[in-house]
Amino acid sequence: MKIHVRPRSLAAVVVAIGLVPILGEAPVVGGAKVVGQAPALDQTQASAPASVAPGVVTSGGVAPQEPGAEKRLSYRIEASIDPERGASGTARMTVPFSALWSPSEVRLDLLSAGEDSLGAGTLHIESVTSSRSVEIARDSAGVLRIVLRAPARPGDLVELDVRFSTVFDEQIRGWLGYASFWSHEPGAYWYPDVIAAGEKRVRFKDFEVTLEYPAGHALLTTGVLTAPPERDGDVVRATYRADHVEGFSLSIAEGLETLELEGDGYTVVGLLPPDEAEALAFRRVVALAAEAVEWYRDGYGFFPVEQIGIIPGPRQWGGGFPLPNVFMIHRANLNEDFLRWITAHELGHYYWGLYALSATSERLDWLNLANGIWIDHLYLARTSGRTLEEQWRAPGGIGAFTDFLQAQLENREARLGLTREEESPLDFDYNSLIRHSKAAIGVYLQSRPLGAERFLDVQRGILADHRFRPFGIEEFVRRLEEAGAAGAGEFFDAWQRGDAWLHFEIAGVESEPNESSWTHRVTVRRPGTVPYEVDVELVYASGARVVRTLSMEGFGDEREQVLEVTSSEPLRDVRLDPNGALPMWNSSHPDIRRAFLQAMVHAGMTEPFLALARAQLAAEPDDDFTRYLLTSELFALGRHEEVVAGPVAEPPTGQVAEACATRDRCRTAILIARSLSALGHAEEAGAILAAIEEQAAALRLSRTWGQAYEEIRGR
């Protein structure tokens, strides 16, 4: 792997190219999970039309379609970039017949670049020219109408030369700290977009873009350089190409450094923030992305993007967001475990959502999101030594079980497939809790009967057959059932509904002694609304264990099933879901119980949480994570005496190795120190912090430790 670092003192031109472009989902509307409140992006609304130079009456040259070529909207742009203002130049637009408003009319969106604070479009079209005269009319609905005097015919391409200018969005500049056009959807472009019949848009386009910009700036775009950049004094001129992308994004920053990793057939380029700690984190992100690209390419047999760029997202959000061949990583959470997940997650969008496409109106629908999360969890499991089941329960990633349980505890709207318009009035984070987490759990549960390798084969088959084509739940179910996941259709019919509830309970246990053995009968009831299989563990008097799986079909119309087992000894205990696969409150697996406790915290169920957390610690005194959750909640409530008195935790007294043996123990120790300080014991609190400083740093808790230190010193 080659490594290229482009210094601050040189012009850094970085590009992200690929065959296709791509949360949390502003970044709230796309594919990656986003933590925190994010303002919505400007949406296309009616406003005053852009100005058109008077007397310009030309255009509509019709060129024949090139034999065998795809009929895609294409651009040849020459523009100058002013980092303080925006872009200006000329775009030769080749518009296919399918993108015309009618055979006699082309419509350009005057709100392609969004609106200013007064509601006026920030894109200004100065002229439209071509070889044939046309009539140009403004439109009160925010479009520029170009009427062809000679109607186009099916198969024709209409060429327009459009002179335009636009300005950077100052809100986006404020979020990022540098200027950026995201170009992932209408309203976020920096060049004119076409509105076809029925208000439809051409999703994927081709670009050849020549840009002039000031030397000393880093420019990261969607395209690949067609030749080395040329410098003329204080100006750099460079030409880029990008085929079959959603748009042509660009980000420009003065004096920043870029890092480029070149692998076998791919390149990863990152724009490094000026803050030293953030720059270190983004160097790590670039390396993590390169590792994930190699793994994905080996697992799926290809990687759909030849070169991928990474830019720093807003500091107030956590998560990421995919742009055309460039993705953002937000800066609110730069912990190593989270970065490993979110980087792999963003790369997954380039397979699921922007290669295999959504069958709905959503750019990244729940089904593609879920398949992407499944593969990023498999990647994390395979590269961290965990099983796939352990990875789904591990902290640091999406936290799907916790999120879904929280939504259930809060009785939230849980239907899968809501549009953005339907989601908008909801007063909770539907995107994270339902569109991401519930969807992902559903796909994960249907992968379990098949096993990871067979489910990976299902995904490979979908990708092979759906290059830039939509696939939906019906086909997904068909492929699952053909692979051996019986009942997948019935499962997803129930899982998509708002009342989806996965729950089992022990209805009765009978043990009958025989001459030389015991017959045990365990009755399991399925009160939940979702049909699925469940594992039951029988624990015998000697401690021996046996696990049996009750099939989905076995519950029948009565929703009850009897498990009968013969053994040589009496029964001591019966447990549900011993392997921790199901998001239900009575799972016997400690990781699921901890997820339930976290969900109770998020749902604001304080007193029930405190009672259950204490009960969990009484049963499992070494449960460091539950101890940290309980300590954190008591601290937030101002109940400092309870934090330091136990049984929450025992304050560390110089036994540093024990106090900071794990990350959770160390975080607990820091909270104990802060509680002691709040109670007036600043000296004792300071001694604890001094004792654990080195170990806290080793566990990547320096910032948390430092904040506690400053707080105690301030008292």
pLDDT of residue 656: 60
Residue 641, CA distances (Å) to 324, 673, 692 in order: 53, 12, 21
DSSP at 66? P
Q: Which amino acid is at 588?
A: S
Which pLDDT score is estimated for 62? 38
CA-based nearest residue to 581, from 321, 458, 715, 401: 401
Sign of the CA dihedral 43, 44, 45, 51?
Answer: positive
**Taking the C-alpha atoms of 612, 613, 615 and 619 in order, what is their torsion angle to the nearest 10 degrees?**
130
| DSSP code per residue over 312-344 | E--TT-EEEEEETTEEEE-SS---HHHHHHHHH
The HSE-up count of residue 258 (CA atoms within 13 Å, CB side) is: 30
Pairing outcome for strands 224-225 and 534-540 = unpaired
57 contacts 133 by C-beta, under 8 angstroms: yes
- Nearest residue to 540 (alpha-carbon basis) of 588, 498, 575: 575
Residue 644 phi/psi, 5-degree rounding, is -90, -10
Q: What is the pLDDT of residues 167-218, one digit of tens each?
A: 999 999 999 999 999 999 999 999 999 999 999 999 999 999 999 999 999 9
CA dihedral for 428, 351, 205, 81, sign (positive or negative): positive
Return the H-helix or E-strand segment holding 490.
Answer: helix 488-495
Hey, which residues does 470 pair with through a beta bridge?
Answer: 357
pLDDT of 12: 31
Q: How much is the pLDDT for 403?
A: 94
Q: Are 651 and 634 in contact (CB under 8 A)?
A: no
| pLDDT reported for residue 188 | 96
pLDDT beneath 70: ranges in the chain: 1-70, 132, 396, 646-657
Beta strands in 149-199 (DSSP E): 156-167, 179-181, 193-194
Q: Report the pLDDT value the prediction gives residue 554, as an integer from 0 to 100.
A: 93
Token look-up 């852009």 returns 50
The bridge status of strand 307-312 relative to strand 326-329 is parallel
- Asked whether 60 and 148 are in contact (CB, 8 A), the reply is yes
Nearest to 88 by CA among 101, 99, 78: 78
Question: Quick one: pLDDT at residue 15?
Answer: 30
Distance of alpha carbon 158 from its chain centroid, rounded? 38
How far is the C-alpha of 428 from the C-alpha of 172, rounded, in Å? Answer: 24
Under DSSP, the state recorded for 353 is E
In SS3 terms, 647-707 reads as: CCCCCCCCCHHHHCCCHHHHHHHHHHHHHHHHCCCHHHHHHHHHHHHHHHHHCCCHHHHHH
d(CA 272, CA 283): 7
Q: Specify the DSSP class assigned to residue 495.
A: H
